[in-house]
């Protein structure tokens, strides 16, 4: 199963196209470009789309949060109508708890949890080298967050199956 995991932002978003847990295409691009890719469908040939959803934890929010919410809706609508893919959401707290078992986990903790779990030989940064690439070769910035979205959703699906 192929999934497109998205870490949305106000002007740019990280994405990771995954076959199972394996990242096959990833990057950080302008939201308008990502939207066009979703509309075209063939650029992100995915069976399902997973988007990190904004959640309120009682704090006041600013303009950027609302702009991100608009993009979440645009990605969601394009995925459902153009790609005809179901869309699911994952909240940041779910990622923290599932990957790190700690609600106070930061980006660095999530990244290290992913490295510990998936890296084959480069346990420091999970990337390896051009000659000897590891699982996360080519990853940077929001690609890690997008991948965490996809992994969290896949893990939740496996938990659901086990709990039936």
pLDDT attached to residue 58: 73
Domains of the chain: 2-162 (3.30.420.10)
Top pLDDT among 57 and 89 is at 89
- Residue 44 pLDDT greater than 90, yes or no: no
pLDDT attached to residue 88: 97
- HEC-encoded secondary structure of 52-80: EECCCCCCCCCHHHHHHHHHHHHHHHHHH
Partnered with residue 99 across adjacent β-strands are: none
The whole-number average pLDDT for the span 30-44 is 91
- Poorest-confidence range of 38-42, 60-64, 102-106, 131-135? 60-64
pLDDT attached to residue 144: 97
Write down the mean pLDDT value for the chain.
94
The whole-number average pLDDT for the span 48-56 is 93
Top pLDDT among 4 and 55 is at 4
- Residue 148 pLDDT greater than 80, yes or no: yes
Q: Work out the percent of the chain whose per-residue pLDDT is above 90.
A: 82
- Residue 108 pLDDT greater than 80, yes or no: yes
pLDDT attached to residue 60: 75
| Angstrom distance (rounded) from CA 102 to CA 95 | 9
| Sign of the dihedral through C-alpha 3, 18, 96, 101 | positive
pLDDT attached to residue 65: 87
- Poorest-confidence range of 4-8, 77-81, 115-119, 156-160? 156-160
| Sign of the dihedral through C-alpha 51, 29, 38, 32 | positive
pLDDT attached to residue 152: 98
């Amino acid at each position: 199963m192929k999934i497109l995991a998205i870490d949305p932002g106000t002007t740019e978003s990280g994405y990771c196209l995954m076959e199972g847990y394996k990242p096959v295409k990833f990057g950080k691009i302008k939201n308008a470009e990502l939207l066009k890719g979703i509309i075209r469908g063939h650029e992100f040939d995915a069976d399902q789309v997973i988007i990190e959803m904004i959640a309120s934890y009682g704090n006041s929010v600013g303009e950027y949060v609302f702009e991100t919410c608009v993009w979440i809706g645009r990605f969601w609508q394009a995925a459902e109508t153009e790609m005809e893919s179901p869309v699911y959401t994952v909240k940041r707290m779910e990622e923290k708890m599932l990957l790190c078992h700690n609600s106070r986990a930061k980006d660095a903790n999530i990244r290290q949890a992913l490295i510990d779990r998936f890296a084959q030989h480069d346990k420091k940064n999970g990337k390896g080298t051009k000659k000897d690439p590891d699982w996360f070769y080519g990853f940077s910035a929001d690609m890690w967050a997008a991948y965490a979205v996809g992994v969290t959703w896949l893990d939740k699906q496996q938990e659901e199956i086990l709990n039936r």
